[in-house]
Structure 1
């Protein structure tokens, strides 16, 4: 069993009331550029197609909503919990998320390019395509997530852990990694940018799996 490194990511502890009754029930999608403090977005609220660019969500809970095409680019999300959200596409680029817990969400195409995440936990659920190109992730944990295609090209990751995840194709081309823990996750469909894995932690079995990619990167021919 792999040990937990001393520089494992810090987990988020959202500042939220214990009772949902203490939150204000929201009956309409968030406003573009608006501020929403201490609100509950319930399961019967459809956020599909809503324009919530540059909105601010502080101390909010989002529960089992449908959010196809919800535009959340540039949003600031702090001290929030998001659970059971479903979307075929989520254009959420260049947002800032801090102290956020995301559980059991299913998203087809998730665009978080150029986003900034700090102390974020993503637990369970499925992401078919996660675009994190140029993003900055600090103290982020992906736990038991089905990640079909993860694009981290040009991103910066510091204390990021993939725990018990199934990762299809992973692209770390041009990424800067520090304390990125892949040891308990499965890499199934290939890796792009093997030369930029410096700063990642893998098991000996994973190293053997990646050996042909390292050899090709170094120009080593294996014969026999």
Structure 2
């Protein structure tokens, strides 16, 4: 009886497992459902179509990119050719008899400088040579500097000096009286605020009498023996410039910076030096007679042999400079005990004591 009940129970368990879970897979591993081949073919077709579309789009983009590059190269080549043609034509215009044609050539060269910075130094040198050639002699009596020279000078003074590379404005021995390269700080026009770019310019023996160079960048400029009488140099930056034997009589130099400038033997009589910065400047044997120096910064300046006869200057200012027995001072300052001691000390140092 007990065996029969066990056998029936075993049959019930087997039947329940078949109904709930299905027949157990062989080897204890359940079988995966069989693949639906039409569905697989459909999925494969979709994947292949997508891959073809992506490749086609990539190839199309590649072709468009190549075409655009070729178009850009052709456009660049065309533009370069046009600029070269304009440059050649502009240089040719500089030799024409008509001043209007020459002016057109100058402004065409200016456009070339702006369009192709790599040609900037070459064009600037061409214009500087043009100025030297056409302003190498003084203007005829009563005449002003020719308009074409003024235009070339304006282009050089207003150029973007960041593209200069090796270019230095060489305007030596030119005659440019009364030229206007200054700025107007009160003007609402932004272009009028731009400084004339004459840094390291070669202006030896140049005639700049009565010129407007206010605010100009003349740092390191070479102005030896230049005629700057009556010139406006207010607010100009003339640091470390060379002005040996320059004529600066009646020059307006208010607020100008001439730190460490070389002014040996320069003539500054009647110049306006209000708030001018002459600290560290070399004024050896310079002519400063009668000047008002009370508001001038002269700390560290070399005044050996300088003529300060009748100059309005404070004893404290003189004591802050380098002087010697040949420095001509106003009588009240020359007799000051500290000044005399300073001169004696300088003499002793010169003689090696």
The equivalent of 1:13 in structure 2 is none
The equivalent of 2:77 in structure 1 is none
Tell me by how many angstroms 1:179 deviates.
Answer: 2.5
C-alpha distance 68-153 of structure 1, shift in aligned 2 (>3 A): same
**Between structures 1 and 2, the one with greater strand share:** 1
1:82-110 CA-partner distances (Å, limit 9, x unpaired): 11112431111011122212111123311
2:70 is the counterpart of 1:70:
no
2:342 is the counterpart of 1:213:
yes
2:264 is the counterpart of 1:114:
no
Quick one: which of 31, 36, 43 aligns to 2:131?
Answer: 31
CA-based RMSD of the aligned residues comes to 3.6
Greater Rg by CA: 2
1:148-196 CA-partner distances (Å, limit 9, x unpaired): 2121223333333324122121222233443233249846853232x23
Q: TM-score scaled by structure 1?
A: 0.69
Tell me, in whole angstroms, the C-alpha distance in 2 between the residues paired with 1:162 and 1:55. 32
User: What is the total number of aligned residue pairs between the two structures?
Assistant: 194
* SS class of match (2:345): helix
Tell me, in whole angstroms, the C-alpha distance in 2 between the residues paired with 1:180 and 1:89. 28
Tell me by how many angstroms 1:131 deviates.
Answer: 1.0
The equivalent of 2:226 in structure 1 is 95
* SS class of match (2:339): helix
Tell me, in whole angstroms, the C-alpha distance in 2 between the residues paired with 1:218 and 1:70. 37
1:53-99 CA-partner distances (Å, limit 9, x unpaired): 01112222113112221000001112222111124311110111222
The equivalent of 2:159 in structure 1 is 45
Tell me, in whole angstroms, the C-alpha distance in 2 between the residues paired with 1:180 and 1:37. 40
Greater Cα shift, 165-174 or 207-216 = 207-216
Quick one: which of 299, 313, 316 aligns to 1:168?
Answer: 299
C-alpha distance 155-167 of structure 1, shift in aligned 2 (>3 A): closer
Gaps of 5+ in 1: 1-23, 220-224
- Name which structure has the greater RCO, CA cutoff 8 Å, separation 6+: 1
Quick one: which of 181, 191, 200 aligns to 2:322?
Answer: 191
Tell me, in whole angstroms, the C-alpha distance in 2 between the residues paired with 1:34 and 1:140. 30
Q: TM-score scaled by structure 2?
A: 0.46
The equivalent of 1:152 in structure 2 is 283
